[in-house]
Amino acid sequence: MQSAMFLALQHNCSTMEKNASLCPSKEEKKGKMKKTLMKDWKARLSYFLQNSSSSTNAKANKKGPQKACFRPSPEEAQLWSETFDELLASKYGLAAFRAFLKSEFCEENIDFWLACEDFKKIKSPQKLNTKAKKIYNDFIEREAPKEINIDFQTKNTIAQNLNEATHTCFSVAQKRVYSLMENNSYPRFLESEFYQELCKKPSISREPQAT
C-alpha cells in the first residue's frame, strides 16, 4: 500500500516538473510581450514615417522634384528632447510619438490634442458646433471610443457648453491631457530604444587601404 502511494506521489511530482518546464515563467512571458510590442511599435513607426514622407513628397512633386526622406536626421531627432513642443512641432516627431503612445495603448491622448488644435482653427459657428459634438462623442462622453482620462466636473462643463460651442470649449481638458503626456509619456518616449536609435549617427565604414 505504501509503495503504491509512493509511486503515485513520484509520478505526480515528475508530471508537475514536466509541466513547469513546458510553461514559461512570468519573466519569460513579460520578455516575449515586450519584444512583441517593440517589434510592433517599430513597424508602426516605420509605417507612419513613410506615409508622412510620401504624402509630403506627393504634394511637393506638383511644384517640383524633391528628394525622398523616410526618417528624420539624428540632429532633428535630438531636437525633440529639448522640449515637448519641439517634438510636437515636427511631423516626424509627432508620428513617432503617436506610434509610441499606440504601443502603450493610450494614443487617444495625442488624437484628442490634435482634434482640439484643428477645432481652434474653425471659423464657421455651425461647423464649430458640429465638430464640438464629434469631439465630445469620440473622446469625452462615458464609454466613448477614445475616452480620455479627465475628471467628471470637466466633462460636465464641456457637455453644458456643447449647444453654444466656442473655441475654448475643450481648453481645460486639452491642457490636462497635454500635461499628462508631457510629464508621463514624453519622458518614457525619450528613454525608449527606438528614439535612441534615431538619435544615433550612422557609422561610416572605412575602405581598407591598398598595400
Lowest-confidence range among 34-38, 121-125, 151-155, 163-167?
A: 34-38
Q: Are 33 and 39 in contact (CB under 8 A)?
A: no
Q: What pLDDT, in 10s, does the model give residues 1-47?
A: 545 544 454 555 455 444 444 445 555 655 565 556 556 656 655 65
C-alpha–C-alpha distance, residues 59 and 17, integer Å: 63
Average pLDDT over the chain, rounded to an integer:
79
Kind plus residue range of the DSSP H or E element containing 32: helix 26-63
Q: Are 112 and 66 in contact (CB under 8 A)?
A: no
C-alpha–C-alpha distance, residues 48 and 201, integer Å: 21
Q: Are 157 and 4 in contact (CB under 8 A)?
A: no
* DSSP per-residue letters across 121-173: T---HHHHHHHHHHHIIIIISTT-TT-----HHHHHHHHHTSTT--TTTTHHH
Give pLDDT, residue 163. Answer: 87
- Domains in the chain, please, with CATH? 72-198 (1.10.167.10)
- Band (pLDDT 50/70/90 cuts) for residue 185 is very high
Q: What pLDDT, in 10s, does the model give residues 118-142?
A: 999 999 999 999 999 999 999 999 9
Give the largest Cα separation in the chain, rounded. 92
Dihedral (CA of 191, 75, 53, 178) sign? positive
The single residue listed with the C-alpha cell 481645460 is: 172
- The Cβ of residue 74 has, within 10 Å, a number of other Cβ atoms equal to 14
Mean local confidence (pLDDT), 160-177: 95
Q: Are 158 and 173 in contact (CB under 8 A)?
A: yes
